[in-house]
Structure 1
Amino acid sequence: MARKREPQTMAELLVQASYQIKGLKRGQQIEGKVSEILSKAVLVDIGGKTEGMVLGREFEAASEFIKNLKVGDKVLVSVASPEDRFGQTLLSLKRAAAVSAWDRFTKAKEKNEEVEVKVLETAQSGLIVSAEGVTGFIPLSQLGATLQKKVKDLPGKRLKVKVLEVDQGLNRLVFSEKEVSEKEKIEKIKKLLGKVKIDQIFEGEVSSILPFGIFVKVDLSGEKIEGLVHISEISWEKADNLASQFSEGEKVKVLVIGKDEEEGKLSLSIKKTLPDPWQEKVKKYSPESLVQGKVVRLISSGAIIEIEEGVEGLLHISKIPPQMKIDVGDSLPCFVEKIEPEKRRLSLGLVLKEKPVGYK
């Protein structure tokens, strides 16, 4: 049986809940009308003998949502308790508040509006925040320069932010604080990026070093623009422990490999300013050349064979006899089938004493 689709908007929730109320059950969804809003409670007409009440922890949990309610508003409530010891029906607005919040964030993103969030805790890569009862995230890269210097002091603080990503289905909500605190600077950067050309080379200065890459500031018309050199663009060889290779303030040559004017992002490469040693090394090989290589890793499509330092080839799984077992570290006699410059890789075949049945 197909799973019933969950309502995604307040309108859908109200349609789903519009039926005659008979006996109330815990968790039941009901459409009601706000009859009174008090300092610590909301009274909702749910068509029963008495009005239902949202109070205590349920009131606190939906406080942001309640601030925008007016007497006469239709709302979807859940029955928290059909009848307490005083004969009252206790209600919850959590689900309605969550749906309303997601709808609010979607509209805020579309209209590029600011919203307010509360910082709950710090994480290795950013801040965990709460916004209208929904948990969201602010990456460190989306904090303004001032706040980046005092991240540990932010839990409990309220911040003005803009919505970067919103996906209720994936429960994904990402914000940017610097889109608010550095709005003018970001707008200027977006305009400057329009002047930047792909493959343009700059002399830049390392501004920060992170596990996934380094940020480099480049000068454009007297203005500093920061771009990211991802770890995969540091060197033609494998790069790691970037903190031991670079220092803040160090001068580096970078090449522009991408830009996003709307997001104000600049992608840079260090390795593409340097000769690719693979192109020189591979000149000694040609189709049908015999080579001896070492298996360095096994993948779903076959085995990666290292011919020499910096030169690898793929021995496709279709070229390996079914009865032949290959392990990492094995030394294999191969021949070059073709050279693939775009992949910086050789396509290899296996040198066999005799051709097995089914070998392609």
Structure 2
Amino acid sequence: MENLKNIAPIEDFNWDAYESGDAVTNVSKEELEKAYDSTLNKVNDREVVDGTVIAMNKREVVVNIGYKSDGIIPLSEFRYNPDLKVGDTVEVYIENQEDKKGQLILSHKKARATRSWDRVNAALENEEIIKGYIKCRTKGGMIVVFIDLGGVDGLIHITDLSWGRVSDPREVVSLDQKLNVVILDFDDEKKRIALGLKQLTPHPWDSLDPNLKVGDHVKGKVVVMADYGAFIEIAPGVEGLIHVSEMSWSQHLRSAQDFMKVGDEIEAVILTLDREERKMSLGIKQLKADPWETIEEKYPVGSKHTAKVRNFTNFGVFVEIEEGVDGLIHISDLSWTKKIKHPSEFTQIGADIEVQVLEIDKENRRLSLGHKQLEENPWDVFETVFTVGSIHEGTIIEMLDKGAVVALPYGVEGFATPKHLVKEDGSQAQLDEKLEFKVIEFNKDAKRIILSHSRIFEDAAKAEEKAEKKATKKSSKKEEAPMIQNQAASTTLGDIDALAALKEQLEGKK
């Protein structure tokens, strides 16, 4: 060994006693151990040193590092070097100088990894590009066994494989493929290296067409979908967002998935472009004309159209005539005759309904529509049928606190208060009962008909009573007539005598 030249001889060694087998020396055991230890290399745990292969078999490699015992390393750690032989110098990592069995524990793999960190640091500081091959795929990216870094592993995160979006690393790389990569970062404690592949090429935004501007049309592929919008890749690594509000002129709240899906190839218009922030917003509704720009021409007041029911409120129905053109049918404009409490009684969401434009609100992008206006107002006819005093057969279809709703002929409804629902025998009319009703009020503008059942027999009784009084009065007049006539006759005769006497006097004077 090389260290033997540094060993000093023991000056007072008793060679005679040694020859007789009774070696006695004045040197203590501690001094002897010290002298022995000084002949060996000084090593520390977690240190990398060079050793020599002194033996090997199919499973193990025995390495001498000049220590008091040799170390054994699994042959599998030298798989990368099939030409390993006795006498070769190898680097080893000292895990433990002495285990429970007094064995020196070494590792060649850890030594290579540890030494590689010096190479990694140098490559990082010098921004050096190094070569490697893909060891395996992971959910986050690829593990790469660097050829010129001594076998240390590094991770290329999936976002650092390409400037564009990558859903599966196999889209960019494959196993055993040799790559040039850039060292982005490393963790000395965890012995991890972060690598990048996309950093070998310029950022796509930097090479984007300098003439591209707001208003230009671009084509791209949908790469990510969200409820609020879709991200469109117009070039690898260059994306724009189409917000859901820019997908349709319609004001209805809808999901972006209603318009497109991942993988769709679409055309869009650039709405905003910020090269410094590398942001772009796009729109597809701008590919069509805004229908409200010419709303008065396409949907003038009085025009008739077919619309689709979109939503209900207590006061009406929201419909869409075409994408972006919405309107409201007030509940009072659904029917001339039916008293509708909620629009769901008349139609349903998704159904088609005929409408007429009543009013245009361009500022709020809303049309006032009517459905009943498509038919003639039947109240013009009802006015001649349900005249005040006329009697019609009706059925009580609803009982309320304030009275009853009565179904009349021709689909019209009337209303009767409780006092007008009393029958001739004093009982109250009930639900579903069919009776005769007299019209006591008709209001065409308010579409209101007030009815009474009790008035029928009350008016009949009054008429009968009036007739009786009239008959009684007539008979009493007949009895008084002769006397009156006699009086009239006597008066007449007397008057005649007086006139005759007057006449004689006048004649005598003559």
TM-score above 0.5, yes or no: no
Structure label with greater radius of gyration? 2
Q: More helix per residue: 1 or 2?
A: 2
More strand per residue: 1
TM-score by length of 2: 0.33
Larger RCO: 1 or 2 (CA < 8 Å, sep 6+): 1
